[in-house]
Amino acid sequence: MTTEELEPLTTEIEALIAADRDSSPVPEGVRQRTMRRVEWTLAAGPAGGGSDGGNNAGDGPGNAVPDAATTAAAGGLTKIISVVAVSFKKNGAAGAGIHASVTEHQPTPLAPQPLAITSITPTPPTLIPSNHLSPMVTLPSRTTIVPPNARPSSQPIASADEPVPERDTDLAAERALLVEARQAMSAGNSAGALDAVNRHASRFPAGRLGQEREVIAIRALVAAGRVGEARARAQRFKTNFPKSMALPAIDTLLGTNP
Amino acid sequence: MMEGDGSTQYKGVNHTEPVAAAPSSGLSPSFREIYEAELSYVWHTLRRLGVRDEDLEDLTHDLFVAVYRRLDDYDRTRAIRPWLFGFAYRLAADYRRLARHRREVPLGELEPVDAGPTMDQQLARAHQRKLLQLALDCLDLNRRAVFVMHDVDGCSMPDVAEVLGIQLATGYSRLRSARQLVTAAVHRLRAKGGHE
């Protein structure tokens, strides 16, 4: 069968499609909020261990569709970030910094924050009430986007049909240390924050929350007045994570924005 | 502004023209450009694939996170929207696998759409959009994706088949049945509403 052999669309259906194409653009507030959430998620590093190294759709012919790209619903911290972002949305605090504490029955909206280093620091997960979970966060803890025409991979690809993986204790331990660091920062205790991130670096030198850790460390060093060390650490961060969404925030923090 | 008019122009990236440059380091400017230019397309594509309004923001977020992570795989000599559609299709598939998101709406249970006399053209178009959405809800995702990509987005069938990973003949077959089902659903809905 070819296009010529298909019955053409009726004018009635064409009119409906034309109306649908004329849909309104996404509201500016949603546009900004969604971009901010994307930045938060990416700043937190690969989700659920990532699968970027998985399939090789890029080797395929033509315009290969995305292969095995992970979603923000994948795993631990990213999921939490989504929860926090949704909590903000539900509390009418669109655009608020994610660093702020989220508590049940938040009495007042959180003040909007500029997109700075603080805005990529997730809220401690222990503060998120379970009844604030959006439908999204009940997705399987690892959801993978696999293109329909992706080549088979030697790596297993999780799907929504598979059993939910066991709790990731390493990730939980990583997260706990970073929560401790953030709480210390919130209390003005930069030394405590540095201690926590150093313990994280020691225990998880190749941890999944490495970017998150480094961002906190740089913040803590700046707060402690150790700007030179902060700059050096930021430089290493840029070398190690040249595509990190946190780079503009780090530049802002250090006053090195171009 | 029409999200689907294909007229969006932005530096180096256009859904109908190749991308000139491929930034490979730092905060890729092309990602932001893609986001700004294609957010509405992504949003409405997810909606057309059956994602509920209240979940659109979350799924859009997920999609752009995935896009960012796979940006290096994008062949900048090709149109971007079919590539983005591939993400949307997979996300919608995962989304629909969850029972609570499934919308299997038998025709007989569809609520009528009042497409009757409207106050103005804007309201009439809103009715038309609603009508199409309800009709699309009668399709399974496979047919729905082909219909949306081919008849709404205007992609060629070879592109549709490539993105969805199906044979060309399968694509045509799905499109034909999708058109029939959509047409029948629209007629049924109009009849139930008592309007032309």
pLDDT tens-digit map of B6-41: 433 333 344 444 333 333 334 445 888 899 999 999
Distance CA A235, CA B8 (A): 37
pLDDT value at residue A6: 79
Average pLDDT over residues B62-88: 91
State whether B100 and A135 contact (CB < 8 Å). Answer: yes
| Shortest CA distance from B95: residue in chain A | A139
CATH architecture under which domain A166-258 falls? Alpha Horseshoe (1.25)
Distance from CA of B79 to the nearest CA of A (A): 8
pLDDT higher for A77 or B82? B82
Q: Which of A6, A12, A20 to substitute to test the interface with B, most B CBs within 10 Å?
A: A20
Of A16, A69, A82, the CB nearest to B66: A69
Residue A70: closest C-alpha in chain B = B66
Q: Average pLDDT of chain B?
A: 79
Handedness of CA A110, A113, A117, A122 (dihedral sign): positive
- Number of Cβ within a 10 Å radius of residue B105: 16
Measured CA to CA, the distance from residue A201 to residue A207 in angstroms comes to 8
Q: Which residue has the higher pLDDT, A144 or B44?
A: B44
pTM tops 0.90, yes or no = no
Interface A–B counts its CB contacts (< 8 A) at 211
> Would you state the pLDDT for residue A46?
54
Radius of gyration of chain B, Cα coordinates, nearest whole angstrom: 18
What's the Cα-to-Cα distance from B126 to each of A22, B29, B140, B155, rounded to whole Å?
10, 35, 23, 24
Task: Delimit the domains of chain A by residue range.
Answer: 28-165, 166-258
Distances (CA, A) of A21 to A114, B120, B152: 34, 18, 7
Under DSSP, is residue A37 helix (H, G, I), strand (E, B) or coil? Answer: helix
Tokens (6 digits) for A218: 């740089």
Say whether B172 and A69 touch across the interface (CB within 8 A).
no
* Chain B nearest C-alpha distance from A192 (Å): 31
* Fold of the CATH domain B1-102: Rna Polymerase Sigma Factor; Chain: A (1.10.1740)
What confidence score (pLDDT) does residue B194 get?
52
A92-96, A234-238, B12-16: lowest mean pLDDT where? A92-96
pLDDT per position as a tens digit, A130-139:
333 333 333 3
B148 within 8 A of B159, measured Cβ to Cβ? no
Question: Quick one: closest CA in A to B183, which residue?
Answer: A13
Say yes or no to pLDDT of A105 above 80. Answer: no
| pLDDT of B10 | 35
Q: For residues B96 and B102, is the Cβ–Cβ distance under 8 A? A: yes
Closest CA to B145 of B93, B67, B83, B100: B93
Helix axes B121-136, A11-21, angle to 10 degrees: 110
Q: Give the distance from residue B177's alpha carbon to the nearest chain A alpha carbon, in angstroms.
A: 10
CB-closest option in B26, B57, B73 to A64? B73
Domain with CATH 1.10.10.10 in chain B: 104-196
Closest CB to B44 among A23, A57, A148: A23
Mean pLDDT confidence for A156-172: 50
Q: Which stretch, A4-18, B13-27, B47-61, has highest mean pLDDT? A: B47-61
Q: Give the pair of three-digit tokens for residue A46.
A: 């690969």
Fold of B104-196: Arc Repressor Mutant, subunit A (1.10.10)
Residues in Cβ contact with B24 at an 8 Å cutoff, skipping those fewer than 6 apart: B72
* Dihedral sign (CA B175, A160, A123, A134): positive
Q: Where in chain B is the domain with CATH 1.10.1740.10?
A: 1-102
CA dihedral sign of residues A189, A203, A138, A151: positive
Task: Name the β-bridge partners of A145.
Answer: A69
Whether the CB of A100 is below 8 Å from some CB of chain B: the reply is no
Give the number of other CB atoms < 10 A from CB of residue A252. Answer: 15
Q: Which helix (H) or strand (E) holds A144?
A: strand A144-145
Q: What does the pLDDT look like over B135-185, one tens digit per residue?
A: 999 999 999 999 999 999 999 999 999 999 999 999 999 999 999 999 999
Please give, rounded to a whole number of angstroms, the shortest distance from the CA of B110 to a CA of chain A.
18
- pLDDT category, B187, cuts 50, 70, 90? very high
A20 vs B48: CB contact, 8 Å cut-off?
Answer: yes
Contact between chains at A13 and B173 (C-beta distance less than 8 A): no
- Nearest to residue A152, comparing CAs of B146, B165, B69? B165
pLDDT at A72: 38
Q: Is the pLDDT of residue A95 over 90?
A: no
By C-alpha distance, the chain A residue nearest B60 is A34
Contact A66 B35 (CB under 8 A): no
pLDDT at B117 over 60: no
DSSP string, B140-191: -HHHHHHHIIIIIS---HHHHHHHHT--HHHHHHHHHHHHHHHHHHHHHHHH
pLDDT for A110 equals 36
**CB-based contacts of A135: which residues, under 8 Å, 6+ apart?**
B54, B55, B58, B100, B101
* Closest Cβ–Cβ partner in B58, B61, B169 for A1: B169
Q: Do B129 and A1 touch (CB under 8 A)?
A: no
